Amino acid sequence: MILVCCLALCHCSHQWHITVSADYYFQYTECDSTGSRWRVAIPLNPGECTGLPEPVQGTDCTFSCKAGEFLEMSAQECTLCAAGTYSLGSGLRFDEWDDIPPGFSSLATNPANAPNGQNASTCSRSGSYLESNRDECTVSLIYTVHLKKPGSVSFDYQYVDNSIFFEFFIQNDQCQEMDQESNKKWIKLTTHGEWGTHIVNLNSGTNILYWRTTRVTLGSKAVKPVVLKNIRIEGVAYTSECFPCNPGTFSRAPGSSSCESCPRDTYSGRGASSCTPCNTKTHFASEGSAACKSRPPCSEKDYIQTYSTCDKDGKTQVIYKWVEPQICLEAAAGAATLPPSGQREPCPPCNPGFYNNDTATCSPCPSGTSSDGVKACQPCPAGTEPVLGYEYKWWNVLPANMKTSCFNVANNNCDGLNGWEVARDHVQSGAGRSDNDYLILTLTVPGFKLPVSVRGASGSEYGRITFEFETSCSSDCEFYFMTDVNRRSTNVIESWDGSKSKQSYTHIMTENSSVAFTWAFQRTSQASDVRQYVNDMVKIYSVTVTNAMDGVASACRACALQSQQAGSSCVPCPAGHYIDKETNQCQECPPNTVLSGHHIYGKEACQPCGPGSKSNKEHSVCFSDCSFTYTDQIRTLQYDFSALTSAGSIMNGPSFTAKGTKYYHLFNISLCGAEGHKAAVCRDNVTNLSNEDAEGGQQGSSVEAFLCQSTIIPSDGRGLRTALSSQSISLADTFQGCPAGTCDGCTFHFLWESSSACPRCTAVDYHAIEGACKAGVQDTVFVWTEPRLCTGGLTLPLKRTSPCEAIDFWLKVGAGLAVFCAILLVSLTCYFWKKNKKLEFKYSKLVMSANKECELPAADSCAIMEGEGEENEEEEVVYANKSSLLAKLKAVATKVS
């Protein structure tokens, strides 16, 4: 059928002419089900087709040439590429981005995925690389490739800003996304100034490749775009021609699979087999240049100030030197000249832990000795041990374990320059080749070695690094501090932009591994070939590392001794013990105190835990045991938060960026329990995949803290297939026992609804109810006081049963006793009243009889004579020498009156 169609094309005009090879080209037909194909001739002008070669059987569909070769279609044989060209054999390479190469397309959409957002934002092209957009749009770079056999795609990239989501995925010809592992779809972050390489396997057939970037703006910080270059595709069935070398590159021999960059001060055009030298007296060229440039007159920006190395007399001086490579002309009219060198002056002293021994070179002190950098090394006294580490505060030369380098986004080989320069009391960023260079300073530590006295401690600190710095910038400069543990990946620990006053920063190492500490400085993120901000710089005044394995000692400190005998050796203290100053013996810290770092000398090293917290058994960390006590006026409330031991999650929002992208903030909280372990974990599943991902490990990096925050982009926020979690940060990584609401710093208000918010129940939260006494038994039950405002704590006591007696019996006994007492009291009252009346009567009768005789009877005849009372015998009274009750009362009344 294909052959018939091709022949049908030959029924054309009678104005035919004989076809020569320049009028047509060969092409293969599509492969059939048997894997075979035909080679046919295609006229350049369809109307002129006489004398076309007949179709012939083509090579096998899986046939391909080696790298450096191409398939010559006339003979259908592989042929070496000529000098000045290159070939990947069965692949394609895109390394020139002055314009979007044929076959690529760029699609931009606004945050709402509306079609009117198209072309609002595009990729920026810059010669050898391609930049993503800097605004809040989703931009896709798309390329379609048809593979005859399984192949691969690889590309180099720089991706340093986690506010951009960078993904790479593949679709088939049905617009269905191919199955792909997460660590292949979401691209890993790279170190500032370094290039990463991403490789993905491709299936045979149609593959639609997507590079997509999505930015979510949550602040005003400058954006670092994604940079893409060197896209390579393997698996193409054949290459029918070789590619010419790009300007600035060359291939000197036939059969090249790549082109080399031209050396410095040389240039080349497209398809060059060699590079042409520049006239170095008047022109210059950087590596990989397509043309020579005129040398400008020298200016103050073309030289730097530094110090000479110490001479044999221990002297140094300020010197000035041209920035390498020197591209300016000193002899040009109006050119600046190098200032004269300064006066010779004494070299700065050695850094602590080093000595010079009256020479110009500083050497490390031997093991077991220490020095302050001025005096000679002295052995540590008995009962002490050296304090190992680095303490760099004098910068006459760069220390042996530090190195400096330079990286550039355009890869223009600035690595041959010194990124940093020493300047006596500080080390400062160098000039670089251009303003957007990354100037790198790296300090390598092979590991950490704890002092003998604290080797038994259970703390998580193995060492710490502290450095003092300042930045001075007139542009959008940025200063980074990064770590690379065990050469796994470089992570940015902290960054500063703009000018910063002199300050210090400390980072604690919680892993005993080799680590590379890196400082990177970039004057501006805008691409530039010239130096406009050469005076923008960062200065580092001092760098201190504790417990370095290969460190030197600046001093000696007391250690714990095995005994108080002379010559006793140092021994490690158990976890949670300090060194007693008087005996140099290990003593356990008091309860609820924690040892502060590795300073365990003296009882004051045991720092008390804050209110509401306690220490673990090792005195290594303070934590809350989920119990909380609060005194409200006269009542003490106790709370139990043990139900909140596991991490809880709170999501707020939705919120929207300035461009309308919807996002949420997810907070994970773990404030108590776990003996100080940070149980709240915020995971970044997009922008910072760990190395373990490729081995089937857990996806993404994580942040462990007491309180952390992640930014969540819902699946409907940008038309994504799944929700994205990114920009995970720690909000609280140190537990401080603060009284209610007294912590300073950022304040977050969370409404956490939980039954644990009620205080623990105590005895004042319930009361007793006594039942009636029945059959000699009485029940007492306990009930909660309503409304019940407590939980947990004490439980209600069980029902209590006690014996009792009926109340009627005791009532009768009491009533009987009361009646008896009343009758007795009335009887006695009547008796004494009657007795008193009789006495009054007899007395009055006696008085009356005495008045009738006008004289009183004698004392011995005052009594009633015998026989006088016979008529009323019961009224007869015989007086004794005792006074009556009434008489006594009268006598008392008379005395009182």
Residue 676 lies inside a defined structural domain of this protein: yes
pLDDT of residue 8: 33
pLDDT range class, residue 49, cuts 50, 70, 90 = low
pLDDT range class, residue 15, cuts 50, 70, 90 = very low
Unique residue bearing structure tokens 């006339």: 74
Indicate whether 395 and 460 sit together in one domain.
Answer: yes
Q: First-to-last CA distance in the chain?
A: 158
| Mean pLDDT, rounded, for 284-289 | 87
Indicate whether 106 and 23 sit together in one domain.
Answer: no
pLDDT range class, residue 443, cuts 50, 70, 90 = very high
Q: Rounded to whole angstroms, how far apart are CA atoms 61 and 69?
A: 17
pLDDT range class, residue 604, cuts 50, 70, 90 = confident
Contact partners, residue 580, CB within 8 Å, separation at least 6: 586, 587, 602, 603
Q: Which two tokens stand for residue 446?
A: 């092979």
Indicate whether 155 and 218 sit together in one domain.
Answer: yes
Q: Lowest-pLDDT range, 11-25, 119-133, 433-447, 761-775? A: 11-25
Task: Indicate if the pLDDT at residue 539 is higher than 70.
Answer: yes
> 564 lies in which domain range?
560-617
pLDDT of residue 138: 79
**DSSP string over 304-368:** EEEEPPP-TTSEE-EEEEEPSSP-SBSSSTT---PPPP---EEPPPPPTTEE-TTSSS-EEPPTT
Please give the tally of structural domains in the chain: 6
pLDDT of residue 692: 42
Nearest CA to 10 out of 36, 56, 41 is that of 41
Tell me what percent of the residues of the chain surpass a pLDDT of 90.
15
Contact partners, residue 710, CB within 8 Å, separation at least 6: 665, 666, 668, 682, 683, 684, 725, 726, 727, 728
Q: Which helix (H) or strand (E) holds 827?
A: helix 807-852
Instruction: Indicate the burial class of 823 (C-beta count within 10 angstroms; 0-12, 13-18, 19 or more).
Output: exposed
| Mean pLDDT, rounded, for 164-171 | 86
pLDDT range class, residue 327, cuts 50, 70, 90 = confident
pLDDT of residue 27: 80
Q: Which of 58, 75, 102 is the last residue of a domain?
A: 58
> What pLDDT, in 10s, does the model give residues 213-223?
887 666 556 67
Unique residue bearing structure tokens 């300007």: 247
Q: Which two tokens stand for residue 323?
A: 């920035």
Instruction: Indicate the burial class of 124 (C-beta count within 10 angstroms; 0-12, 13-18, 19 or more).
Output: middle
Q: Which residue has the higher pLDDT, 596 or 576?
A: 576
Q: Around Cβ 587, how many Cβ atoms within 10 Å? A: 16
pLDDT range class, residue 401, cuts 50, 70, 90 = very high
**DSSP string over 199-238:** EEEE-SEEEEEEEEEEE---SSPPP---EEEEEEEE--S-
Tell me how far CA of residue 17 lies from CA of 5, 8, 14, 51, 111, in angstroms.
21, 18, 9, 8, 58
Q: Which two tokens stand for residue 531?
A: 């130096």
Task: Indicate if the pLDDT at residue 103 is higher than 80.
Answer: yes
Total length of the chain: 897
> What pLDDT, in 10s, does the model give residues 509-530?
888 889 999 999 988 877 766 6
Contact partners, residue 54, CB within 8 Å, separation at least 6: none
pLDDT range class, residue 877, cuts 50, 70, 90 = very low
Highest mean pLDDT: which of 169-183, 354-368, 721-735, 747-761? 354-368
Given a contact cutoff of 8 angstroms between Cβ atoms, the answer to whether 483 and 557 are in contact is no
Task: Indicate if the pLDDT at residue 865 is higher than 80.
Answer: no
β-pairing verdict for 124-126 and 138-147: unpaired
Q: Which two tokens stand for residue 796?
A: 């209600």
> What pLDDT, in 10s, does the model give residues 416-440?
667 888 888 899 998 877 888 888 9
Helices (H) and strands (E) counted in the chain, each on its own, are 4, 62
Q: Rounded to whole angstroms, how far apart are CA atoms 177 and 182?
A: 13
DSSP state of 604: G
| Mean pLDDT, rounded, for 455-464 | 72
| Mean pLDDT, rounded, for 81-94 | 88
Contact partners, residue 326, CB within 8 Å, separation at least 6: 302
Unique residue bearing structure tokens 């993905």: 200
Tell me what percent of the residues of the chain surpass a pLDDT of 70.
78
pLDDT of residue 538: 94
Three-state DSSP class for residue 893: helix
> What pLDDT, in 10s, does the model give residues 633-687?
777 788 877 777 777 788 877 877 766 777 888 888 887 766 667 778 887 765 5
pLDDT of residue 886: 53
Q: Rounded to whole angstroms, how far apart are CA atoms 545 and 392?
A: 9
| Mean pLDDT, rounded, for 837-865 | 65
Indicate whether 138 and 191 sit together in one domain.
Answer: yes
Indicate whether 544 and 570 sit together in one domain.
Answer: no
Tell me how far CA of residue 68 lies from CA of 84, 85, 184, 272, 359, in angstroms.
11, 9, 29, 16, 58
Q: Rounded to whole angstroms, how far apart are CA atoms 511 and 484?
A: 12
| Mean pLDDT, rounded, for 107-131 | 58
Nearest CA to 879 out of 844, 851, 843, 845 is that of 843
Unique residue bearing structure tokens 């080749």: 433
Given a contact cutoff of 8 angstroms between Cβ atoms, the answer to whether 77 and 71 are in contact is yes
| Phi, psi values for residue 674, rounded to 5° | 60, 15
Task: Indicate if the pLDDT at residue 624 is higher than 60.
Answer: yes
Task: Indicate if the pLDDT at residue 502 is higher than 90.
Answer: yes
Task: Indicate if the pLDDT at residue 750 is higher than 60.
Answer: yes
pLDDT range class, residue 501, cuts 50, 70, 90 = very high
**Residue 833 corresponds to which amino acid?**
W
Residue 359 lies inside a defined structural domain of this protein: no
Task: Indicate if the pLDDT at residue 475 is higher than 70.
Answer: yes
Task: Indicate if the pLDDT at residue 470 is higher than 90.
Answer: yes
Q: Rounded to whole angstroms, how far apart are CA atoms 855 and 411?
A: 158
Task: Indicate if the pLDDT at residue 362 is higher than 70.
Answer: yes
Whole-model pTM: value is 0.68
pLDDT of residue 876: 44
Residue 523 lies inside a defined structural domain of this protein: yes
Sign of CA dihedral 429, 432, 438, 443: negative
| Mean pLDDT, rounded, for 1-14 | 32
Residue 390 lies inside a defined structural domain of this protein: yes
Q: Lowest-pLDDT range, 117-126, 296-305, 749-758? A: 117-126
Indicate whether 577 and 521 sit together in one domain.
Answer: no
> What pLDDT, in 10s, does the model give residues 199-238?
998 888 888 999 988 876 665 566 778 888 889 888 877 7
Residue 489 lies inside a defined structural domain of this protein: yes
Three-state DSSP class for residue 836: helix
**DSSP string over 746-775:** ---------GGGSPEE-GGGEEEEE---BT
| Phi, psi values for residue 494, rounded to 5° | -155, 155
Given a contact cutoff of 8 angstroms between Cβ atoms, the answer to whether 188 and 196 are in contact is yes
DSSP state of 15: -
Q: Which helix (H) or strand (E) holds 197?
A: strand 196-202
Nearest CA to 493 out of 191, 163, 157, 165 is that of 191
Contact partners, residue 880, CB within 8 Å, separation at least 6: none
Q: Rounded to whole angstroms, how far apart are CA atoms 66 and 254?
A: 13
Given a contact cutoff of 8 angstroms between Cβ atoms, the answer to whether 619 and 666 are in contact is no
- Show the beta-strand stretches assigned E in 657-692: 662-669, 680-684
pLDDT of residue 510: 81
pLDDT range class, residue 391, cuts 50, 70, 90 = very high
Tell me how far CA of residue 159 lies from CA of 126, 140, 164, 192, 196, in angstroms.
16, 16, 9, 8, 8
| Phi, psi values for residue 761, rounded to 5° | -75, 140
Q: Which two tokens stand for residue 392?
A: 């760099």
Q: Which of 204, 236, 268 is the last residue of a domain?
A: 236
| Mean pLDDT, rounded, for 581-587 | 83
Residue 360 lies inside a defined structural domain of this protein: no
Indicate whether 47 and 116 sit together in one domain.
Answer: no
Indicate whether 577 and 609 sit together in one domain.
Answer: yes
pLDDT of residue 159: 87
Three-state DSSP class for residue 385: strand
Nearest CA to 288 out of 517, 73, 144, 129 is that of 129
Indicate whether 441 and 536 sit together in one domain.
Answer: yes
Give the 3-state DSSP-derived string for 481-532, with helices as H, strands as E and coil as C: EEEEECCCCEEEEEEEECCEEEEEEEEEECCCCCEEEEEEEECCCCCCCCCC
Three-state DSSP class for residue 702: strand
pLDDT range class, residue 390, cuts 50, 70, 90 = very high
Task: Indicate if the pLDDT at residue 466 is higher than 90.
Answer: yes
Indicate whether 415 and 548 sit together in one domain.
Answer: yes
Three-state DSSP class for residue 423: coil
Tell me how far CA of residue 740 lies from CA of 375, 737, 762, in angstroms.
52, 9, 22
Q: Rounded to whole angstroms, how far apart are CA atoms 554 and 439?
A: 30
pLDDT range class, residue 266, cuts 50, 70, 90 = very high
Given a contact cutoff of 8 angstroms between Cβ atoms, the answer to whether 432 and 409 are in contact is no
Domain CATH for 441: 2.60.120.200
pLDDT range class, residue 754, cuts 50, 70, 90 = confident
Three-state DSSP class for residue 382: coil
Residue 351 lies inside a defined structural domain of this protein: no
Indicate whether 550 and 564 sit together in one domain.
Answer: no
Q: Lowest-pLDDT range, 162-176, 341-355, 738-752? A: 738-752
Tell me how far CA of residue 765 lies from CA of 762, 770, 779, 793, 863, in angstroms.
6, 17, 20, 10, 82
pLDDT of residue 287: 84
pLDDT range class, residue 541, cuts 50, 70, 90 = very high
Indicate whether 204 and 131 sit together in one domain.
Answer: yes
Residue 246 lies inside a defined structural domain of this protein: no
Q: Which of 206, 236, 266 is the last residue of a domain?
A: 236
The chain-wide mean pLDDT, for the chain, equals 78
| Phi, psi values for residue 584, rounded to 5° | 55, 30
| Mean pLDDT, rounded, for 167-194 | 77
